[in-house]
Amino acid sequence: MKKWRPTRFFSNTFNEVGWETKIETVKCLRRNHRATAGGQRHGAFNLGDVVTSGVKVLSDEERTRLEEQNKRMVSEFQARKLETDARKHWDLFYKRNETRFFKDRHWTTREFEELLAVDGGEGSDVVKTMLEVGCGVGNLVFPLIEDGHRDYFIYACDLSPRAVELVRQHNLYDERYMRAFPCDITTEEVFGTLGEGSLDIATLIFVLSAIHPEKFGAVVGNIFRLMKPGGMVLFRDYGLYDMAQLRFKPGHKIGENFYMRQDGTRSYYFAEDEIGDLFRGAGFEVVVNSYIHRRTINPKEKIDVPRIFVQSKFRKPSG
Ligand SMILES: C[S@@+](CC[C@H](N)C(=O)[O-])C[C@H]1O[C@@H](n2cnc3c(N)ncnc32)[C@H](O)[C@@H]1O
């Protein structure tokens, strides 16, 4: 077999949630890579997820890059201002990008079969409820509806009123099945719309990372109060040493594993055990909690994107 030789080059691409970034890529020349990926000769494909509890082992170069980030940290004043202006930054983000930015999340029912509840759906008297926290413009909820899953009454909330407005303007938005509302999940605001013990499912998809780490406890505590006993939280977010974390230049680091993007939005990178401890500390049982390592290859675009996520499920105890 012809030996696979990686060729390094650079290309503009978009990361998992779409932030434009210069990505160092590895050209994949081997034909059977295409075959294992389902024969998509020119399309993007994943090399397969690696599910692990092991933290990524850093190369010397990566360690140096992380150390470089400490040379110029975001000042305390600027960090405080970013926190005060968090809503403004996300609102401006959605003003600029509207619904064009994030990809529809069609993978959610594959990874979280709980979203396909069998009882309590159509035809049943019991209405099950889910809350999508930090719903953005609805890239999780609308694919569910599009695919015919009306198993839950869907509540969807976001810090950005503009994002919520875009959800409400979607042609699939229908208050018989769902309700979108603005809400800062770090506060008690959510209890103005939802009662304690009212949710069967809560989803947090790339949301906790956008929140200041000092407020993680308050967020998870609120969610615990919202869940019914036996209710499940479905979580996916950036994992420690994800490619996007390693690529931050000096001047962007706010604190340990916490960074500011160019547009003023922020991003945290989670260790798997840290997320486990956080949810366990609030009273949840850990059902699943792992890193997912993924490489997305697009031979035509000459892109190889290695990503690390943390994916988890937490249950509020029944008893
Ligand atoms: C990276 S985006 C992810 C959006 C969506 N979950 C998705 O996967 O497409 C993070 C979202 O969290 C929202 N957000 C940030 N802080 C929040 C808070 N304190 N309360 C509720 N939503 C928040 C932002 O407005 C933004 O829509």
Q: Which of 15, 87, 90 to mutate to test the pocket of ligand 1 (most atoms within 8 A of CB)?
A: 90
Q: How many Å lie between the centroid of ligand 1 and the Cα of residue 295? A: 24
The pLDDT value given to residue 20: 33
158 pocket-lining for ligand 1 (C-beta < 6 Å): yes
> Is residue 208 lining ligand 1, measured as CB closer than 6 Å?
no
Residue 267 CA: nearest ligand 1 atom is 1
**What is the Å distance from ligand 1's center to 128 Cα?**
23
The closest-lying atom of ligand 1 relative to the alpha carbon of residue 17 is 1
139 lines ligand 1 (CB under 6 A): yes
- CA 219 to ligand 1: nearest atom: 19
Q: How far is the CA of 134 from the centre of ligand 1 (A)?
A: 4
- How far, in Å, CA of 245 to CA of 155, rounded? 31
Quick check: CB of 219 below 6 Å from ligand 1? no
**Mean pLDDT per 10-residue section of the chain, whose length is 319 residues:** 30 35 30 32 62 91 97 97 98 85 70 70 71 95 85 94 96 94 98 97 97 98 98 97 96 98 97 97 97 84 85 94
**Nearest CA owner, ligand 1 atom 3:** 206
What is the whole-number distance in angstroms between the Cα of residue 84 and the centre of ligand 1? Answer: 16
Q: What pLDDT is attached to residue 296?
A: 76
Residues 144/146/151/155 CA torsion (nearest 10 deg): 60
CA 248 / ligand 1 centre spacing (Å): 20
Closest CA to 227 of 243, 204, 210, 255: 204
17 lines ligand 1 (CB under 6 A): yes
Does the C-beta of 242 come closer than 6 Å to ligand 1?
Answer: no
Ligand 1 and 184: CB distance under 6 A: yes
- The structure's pTM equals 0.84
